[in-house]
Structure 1
Amino acid sequence: MDVMLLVLILSVCGPVWATTIDMDYGGVPLWINRFLGEPSVLSLRDRMEPGWFRAVNTQSCPLECDCPIQWPTALYCEHRGLQHLPEGLPSRIQYLFLQGNALTGFNSGVFANTSSLRWLFLDRNQILSERLEPTLLSNLTRLVNLFMNHNNLTEVPTGLPRGLKQLRLAYNHIEKISPGAFQDLRNLTLLLLQGNRLKTVSEADFKGLPILNLLDLSHNNLETFPKHLPPSVQQLYLSGNDLTGLSEDCLQDFNGLRYLRLSRNRLKNQDLASAAFNVTSLVELDLSYNQLTQIPVVPTSLQYLYLEVNHIREFNVSSLCRTVGPTSYSRLKILRLDGNKMAYHQLPPDWVYCLRVLHNIYI
């Protein structure tokens, strides 16, 4: 069965929530609530004959777009080579798909008639920061998802709607966060900024995000671990930067950090404080593809530890278990040590007492 057909079936007949695999959309799937009338496909390209839509749908629809009767509040204008937003956008639309065009910016007032918008997809255009007016989206008070991945932005847009829950700005050229850009986004739970050019994070950059859950800063140019991040973050991704170490207080302000990804940096043991990862809420820690020569000290509550492709030569049990006893042992389920400078026969005999609930170890 075609995979996309399976997703469509699940969204109609299956659970309340389904995920799209139509495109990566910044690397994090978009969950779809079919009971809210959310469309279960994010692109009609190569799926249905456009002429069929116009033959069976009597609602107004711009000539450059498609208006499927299955989703009467959705407007599909994606992959059309558009350089300007279509005129006469219907006021009924809640889901606007404009990805894969040649848009560089917008004239003022272009969204004046679309105050009901909930999703706005602008991925893979050529949008420039200087072509975005601060008040461009100000009337979109119902907007919850804004997608602007793979554009030419050099700074985070300002004047974003306060109701946003997801903001995806991955793979642009963002070098700075505009002052107060996130100040009023009290509902934002997901923020994607990976693949940009951020070098530093100032104290005020992420103010105003009280319930942010996932923050992706991977593949930027950060040389030091960013402080002043929202304490509510549970998933923090910093892979592919230029970090060499972490101080003892880098993670101490987080309320419940669970997933931390630091792969493909330049981390070295001598620049890691001994208590750098002493966060009992941590479930998963990814330190793969770094320059570590020893297993760093991690909390015994950790369940997934990825250390592949470093320069580790020995297995030091004390990094995983300070003591071993009836209730003193590591909760690790997965431990990856493959691609290092050690072999299975080098494991000390007492490792099994420390890792007594381990499911898989890779050496």
Structure 2
Amino acid sequence: MVAIINAIVVPLLFSIVVGVVDFQKECALELPSNGWHDIYCDVIPYKVDLSHISEMTNLDVSQNNLNAIYIASDKNLTLSTLDLSKNNILNSCNVLTSSTVRVRSTILSFNKINNFSMCLDTANLTLSWNHIKSLNKADMVNVSSLEILDLGYNFILWIENDTFVGMPNLQWLNLKGNALTMISEKTLPSTTLLYLDVSENYDLDRSTVFEPFENLVELNIARNVKLAPVVLGSGPRLQALDASHTNLTEIPVTPAPLLGSLILSGNMIRVVNSGDLDGFPLLHFLNISGNRIKTVEDDAFGRLDLLTVLDLCGNMLETVPKSLPGSLETLNLEDNKIQYLEIEDFDGCKRLKTLNVRKNNIRHIQDLTFASLVFLDVLDISENPIKMITREMLTGPVRLKVLKLESLAAPETPTFPFTDTRYLNRIQLAHSKHLAAILLNDSAVLSSMFQLDYLDLTGCAVYSLPTRLPYYMPKMKTLIVQELKCFCSWLKDWLCEIHASAKEYRHPRTNQTELRLRNFRQKKLQSSVESVQCTRGNGKIQQVFDVKHCATIVTTSTYRITINTNTTEYAAVFARLRAKDLPKNTHAVVEPTHPGMIVFVCVVFLLVILACGTVWIGIRGDALKRLQWRQNSADVDYQTIEIKSLESLNHVERW
């Protein structure tokens, strides 16, 4: 058998040659024609020769049942990432490279490695999800270059003292999801570590102290229920702390002047006192969700001048905390016991962008409660027992993009409660039958939703859609309904338009330096519109999306929309409204079935205009200049006036 196998030619004479060592089958690698740099092989050989590659960023040989691999090259080559995850490698020393190949990051997760050993000179090593049970000093050979070590989700029970002495550059250590019972400055590199994750070990107890780790920037001790109360020490450089699910009963009183992120979720904190957070003046992210907080003293959060995210969901609050900081951008109050929302609740939150009061006990919202929230992007008031939502209640957030009104009975609501839809692109009305019915029957509100691209009507008993919906929502990409019993011909054309638009604006892959070796082909995902179905009157399921039908409606390669007598109205709307998104050197052209008839009508229309103009000028010759000026003024704004006036017409043909 020939020892050297076929070469692959890619742009700029880039080539790959793979030599077979352990396997006696020839593996010819071929690049697919779609431009993706994925290579598929039935057998991935033991030796990979990269001599013919001038530059490569990543080498991916994951999921190939490999026991070992040797990577060679006859010239100097540096790999940023070598991915060997999900193979059958028993020892990390079974991964070898020639002296000319350097690997910066090696991924060996999801293999069968049962002891720590290292024969590859790399700075970043991932050994998560293996079978390592202990760390011994004798196994630490050739580890002086390690800066990042991920040992998460193994079975590590203990670590020998001075194990990490030979790693002077180690800064990032992940020991998450193991079975450690104790750690100290003798078992871990306390002087060099900047990031330490010992979460989910469960048996770490309160004898563990973190005072010696004075250089830590990030510390994660989550889900160690025996740690409380946590002894952190001074933490002069600490910037992020995750102490969630550690049975804390109060906020840790630890001076950490640089702390910016604090996570205390899933504990048993009942009260937030004024002054509890004074030791964290630079705090910008605070998560105290899933506690038992019922009382928040006034000004408990008001002193945090840089706080942008506050998460208080899953507590027992009955009112919105007072004196919220003006810097706040995200406020999560979901799953509490709040009964009323009033103007003063958010009066000082001028920068708020996301507000979530979902799943409370809200029965009334005072008018103009959200009036001061001019920058609000997302509002969620779902799952509340409110009986009536008026437009005055939701007045104010003029830049709102996402409105969530799910699982709201609101039986007394007279009209759709939100009308300022200039920026609105997402509405979620799942299981809100009354609000959904109001929306679909309110043509004035629908006609203002030009930007809407997502509408969720799940569980709203919507069996038919307004025939002018494509005209109202020309940018719609996702429409969710459970069942349509009435099939409309216009729905086919609308799905074709959505499918063609998504296909036209799909961005190609730009990464040209990544090589993937695979022994399987991933299944091609279908377009979302291909799964749209309707139920006929006889109960049979009908597939709405039809590729052949779309071929006669839209040809996206030339931006031309061909129509017939049955689809003239909606194809014209698509052409008109989509044209503004096309490149300047292209045009959306609507081609009628009978162009001669259109020309004839235009000529007659022009003659009528000329005749009327002649009569008018003869009668009012003295006002010719004034008429000329008014006509020119109309020409300047004609495009804008025409588009807006379309929203008030009953028939698009009149346009």
TM superposition score normalised by structure 2: 0.44
Cα distance, 1:308 vs structure 2: 0.8
Cα distance, 1:309 vs structure 2: 0.5
1:114 aligned to 2:114?
no
RMSD: 3.5
Cα distance, 1:230 vs structure 2: 1.8
Cα distance, 1:162 vs structure 2: 0.9
Q: Name the CA distance, whole Å, in 1 between partners of 2:124 and 2:367.
A: 49
Counterpart of 1:354 in 2: which secondary structure?
coil
Partner of 2:307: 212
Counterpart of 2:386 in 1: which secondary structure?
coil
Partner of 1:57: 143
| From 154, 169, 194, the counterpart of 1:94 | 194
Partner of 1:105: 206
- Within-5 A mapping of 1:1-363: 45-47=128-130, 49=132, 54-57=140-143, 62-63=159-160, 72-88=170-186, 89-90=188-189, 91-101=191-201, 102-106=203-207, 110-127=209-226, 129=228, 131-132=229-230, 136-138=232-234, 140-177=235-272, 179-268=274-363, 271-278=364-371, 279-295=373-389, 296-298=393-395, 299-313=397-411, 319-321=417-419, 330-342=422-434, 343-344=436-437, 347-363=441-457
Kept in 2: contact 1:180–1:207 (CA 8 A): no
Kept in 1: contact 2:299–2:324 (CA 8 A): no
Q: Which amino acid aligns with 1:355?
A: M
Counterpart of 1:350 in 2: which secondary structure?
helix
TM superposition score normalised by structure 1: 0.76
Cα gap change, 1:304/1:260 in structure 2, threshold over 3 Å: closer, same or farther?
A: same
Q: What is the total number of aligned residue pairs between the two structures?
A: 317
Q: Name the CA distance, whole Å, in 2 between partners of 1:146 and 1:305.
A: 33
Kept in 1: contact 2:358–2:383 (CA 8 A): yes
Kept in 1: contact 2:333–2:358 (CA 8 A): yes
Kept in 2: contact 1:156–1:181 (CA 8 A): yes
Cα gap change, 1:159/1:51 in structure 2, threshold over 3 Å: closer, same or farther?
A: closer
Q: Which amino acid aligns with 1:291?
A: P
Kept in 2: contact 1:39–1:71 (CA 8 A): no
Cα gap change, 1:360/1:111 in structure 2, threshold over 3 Å: closer, same or farther?
A: closer
Cα distance, 1:340 vs structure 2: 1.5
Kept in 2: contact 1:155–1:175 (CA 8 A): yes
Q: Which amino acid aligns with 2:170?
A: P
Cα distance, 1:75 vs structure 2: 3.2
Cα gap change, 1:167/1:78 in structure 2, threshold over 3 Å: closer, same or farther?
A: same
Choose 332-341 or 142-151, whichever is displaced more.
332-341
Counterpart of 2:219 in 1: which secondary structure?
strand
Q: Which amino acid aligns with 2:213?
A: T
Q: Name the CA distance, whole Å, in 1 between partners of 2:340 and 2:163.
A: 51
Kept in 2: contact 1:300–1:332 (CA 8 A): no
Cα distance, 1:137 vs structure 2: 2.3
Q: Which amino acid aligns with 2:456?
A: Y
Cα gap change, 1:248/1:54 in structure 2, threshold over 3 Å: closer, same or farther?
A: same
Kept in 2: contact 1:331–1:357 (CA 8 A): yes
Counterpart of 1:241 in 2: which secondary structure?
coil
Q: Name the CA distance, whole Å, in 1 between partners of 2:125 and 2:342.
A: 45
Q: Name the CA distance, whole Å, in 2 between partners of 1:344 and 1:272.
A: 22
Kept in 2: contact 1:105–1:132 (CA 8 A): yes
Q: Which amino acid aligns with 1:256?
A: R
Kept in 1: contact 2:145–2:169 (CA 8 A): no
Kept in 2: contact 1:62–1:87 (CA 8 A): no
Cα gap change, 1:99/1:204 in structure 2, threshold over 3 Å: closer, same or farther?
A: same
Cα gap change, 1:335/1:150 in structure 2, threshold over 3 Å: closer, same or farther?
A: same
Counterpart of 2:369 in 1: which secondary structure?
coil
Counterpart of 2:340 in 1: which secondary structure?
coil
Q: Name the CA distance, whole Å, in 2 between partners of 1:128 and 1:312.
A: 46
Q: Name the CA distance, whole Å, in 2 between partners of 1:62 and 1:303.
A: 51
Cα distance, 1:222 vs structure 2: 0.6
Cα distance, 1:240 vs structure 2: 0.6
Q: Name the CA distance, whole Å, in 1 between partners of 2:252 and 2:286.
A: 13
Q: Name the CA distance, whole Å, in 2 between partners of 1:312 and 1:70.
A: 64
Q: Name the CA distance, whole Å, in 2 between partners of 1:179 and 1:227.
A: 11
Cα gap change, 1:48/1:210 in structure 2, threshold over 3 Å: closer, same or farther?
A: farther
1:274-320 CA-to-partner distances (Å, cap 9, x unmatched) read 11122111110011111233344243321110001110347755732
Identity %, equivalent residues: 26
Instruction: Judging by fraction of residues, say which structure has more helix.
Output: 2
Cα gap change, 1:128/1:231 in structure 2, threshold over 3 Å: closer, same or farther?
A: farther
Q: Name the CA distance, whole Å, in 1 between partners of 2:125 and 2:306.
A: 27
Kept in 2: contact 1:145–1:167 (CA 8 A): yes
1:47-69 CA-to-partner distances (Å, cap 9, x unmatched) read 58576973433699952898697
Cα gap change, 1:201/1:255 in structure 2, threshold over 3 Å: closer, same or farther?
A: same
Kept in 2: contact 1:315–1:347 (CA 8 A): no
> Following TM superposition, where does structure 1 have runs of at least 4 consecutive aligned residues deviating by more than 4 angstroms?
38-41, 47-53, 58-62, 64-71, 313-318, 343-346
Where in structure 1 are there 5+ consecutive unaligned residues?
7-11, 14-21, 23-37, 322-327
Q: Which amino acid aligns with 2:441?
A: L
Q: Name the CA distance, whole Å, in 1 between partners of 2:180 and 2:426.
A: 48
Kept in 2: contact 1:218–1:238 (CA 8 A): yes
Kept in 1: contact 2:304–2:325 (CA 8 A): yes
Q: Name the CA distance, whole Å, in 2 between partners of 1:301 and 1:83.
A: 52
Q: Name the CA distance, whole Å, in 1 between partners of 2:162 and 2:356.
A: 40
Cα gap change, 1:281/1:125 in structure 2, threshold over 3 Å: closer, same or farther?
A: same
Q: Name the CA distance, whole Å, in 1 between partners of 2:360 and 2:404.
A: 14
Cα gap change, 1:114/1:175 in structure 2, threshold over 3 Å: closer, same or farther?
A: same
Q: Name the CA distance, whole Å, in 2 between partners of 1:105 and 1:164.
A: 22
Counterpart of 1:146 in 2: which secondary structure?
strand
Asked which structure has the greater CA Rg, the reply is 2
Instruction: Judging by fraction of residues, say which structure has more strand.
Output: 2
1:11-37 CA-to-partner distances (Å, cap 9, x unmatched) read x67xxxxxxxx9xxxxxxxxxxxxxxx
